[in-house]
Structure 1
Amino acid sequence: MLTLAYVLAGIAALVHVYIFRLESLAWTEPRTRAVFGTTPETAQVTRPMAYNQGFYNLFLAVVTVVGIVVSAYGSEDVGAALMYAGCGSMLAAALVLATSDRSKLRAALIQGVAPALAVVVLLVARAGE
């Protein structure tokens, strides 16, 4: 069960690394603009904000991956705390996105399902110890 939590947390981290790439590295590219529904002009104006926001996603992914590694090869308690922090923050951000703009529900689900499942599976796995 713990392995499933690691896999789900890893998927969540990969999704957030991809979001980092879109927001911080490719924000003004046509494919990224299509994903976010922005015009070239809007993308250029919002580029600094997107750059910054992308790094938040990267940092959440890093915390989660460090949690997986520490849990698997060091302290399971410390690793679990890091995975809860990373995945819990990803889930919270997805909930904020979903509640702030109903048209972003699909994006919120993409961003939030894997971390939500990781948190639930991790809770169940640790409760069974």
Structure 2
Amino acid sequence: MKKVALALIALIALLHFYIAWFEMFAWTTRGPRVFDTFPPELFEQTVQMAANQGIYNAFLAVGLVWALLIKDLKWQRNVATCFLGFVITAGVVAAITVSFRPGLVQIVPATIALVLLHLSSRSTSAMQKS
């Protein structure tokens, strides 16, 4: 269960690195194709805003990678929990303010990873007490 949680955390980090790249470097080129309901002239006008959002997504990704590199299991869980919580919060805000689908793409995997991470740490603690 722990390996699945860590693999999911790695995938979420990759997703957020992609989102960061998209918002920081491909907003005006790929944005109009991805967000085809937005007026095309909107993308050039919002390039700085998108880049700012991109850096926050990069911070989320880096935090998740950092969690994967921590050797102490308690601190790994704590840092992963913190950054997964940030991802879930960002997903909830996206679902409310942008549209439901982008929010779900963040909320669902992060919630599953968080649950698996905590279930695996409980089972590890129970086995150590035995």
Q: State TM-score, norm by structure 1.
A: 0.88
Matched residue count: 123
Partner in structure 1 of residue 27 of structure 2: 27
Within the candidate set 41, 58, 74, 1:77 is matched to 74
Structure 1 runs not aligned, ≥5 long: none
Alpha-carbon distance in 1 for matches of 2:53, 2:111: 21
Alpha-carbon distance in 2 for matches of 1:42, 1:13: 28
Greater Rg over alpha carbons, structure: 2
Query: Does the CA contact (< 8 Å) of 1:64 and 1:85 recur in 2?
Result: no
Partner in structure 2 of residue 109 of structure 1: 104
1:90 is paired with a residue of what secondary structure?
helix
Instruction: State percent identity of aligned pairs.
Output: 33
Query: Does the CA contact (< 8 Å) of 2:8 and 2:113 recur in 1?
Result: yes
Aligned-pair distance for 1:36?
Answer: 2.6
Aligned-pair distance for 1:13?
Answer: 0.7
Aligned-pair distance for 1:99?
Answer: 2.3
Mapping for residues 1-12 of structure 1, pairs under 5 Å: 1-12=1-12
Aligned-pair distance for 1:79?
Answer: 1.3
How well do the aligned residues superpose, as a CA RMSD in angstroms?
1.3
Q: State TM-score, norm by structure 2.
A: 0.87
Aligned-pair distance for 1:110?
Answer: 1.5
Alpha-carbon distance in 1 for matches of 2:81, 2:96: 22
Alpha-carbon distance in 2 for matches of 1:43, 1:32: 7
Aligned-pair distance for 1:40?
Answer: 3.4
Aligned-pair distance for 1:18?
Answer: 0.8
Give the partner amino acid of 2:82: A
Within the candidate set 86, 91, 94, 1:94 is matched to 91
Structure 2 runs not aligned, ≥5 long: 126-130
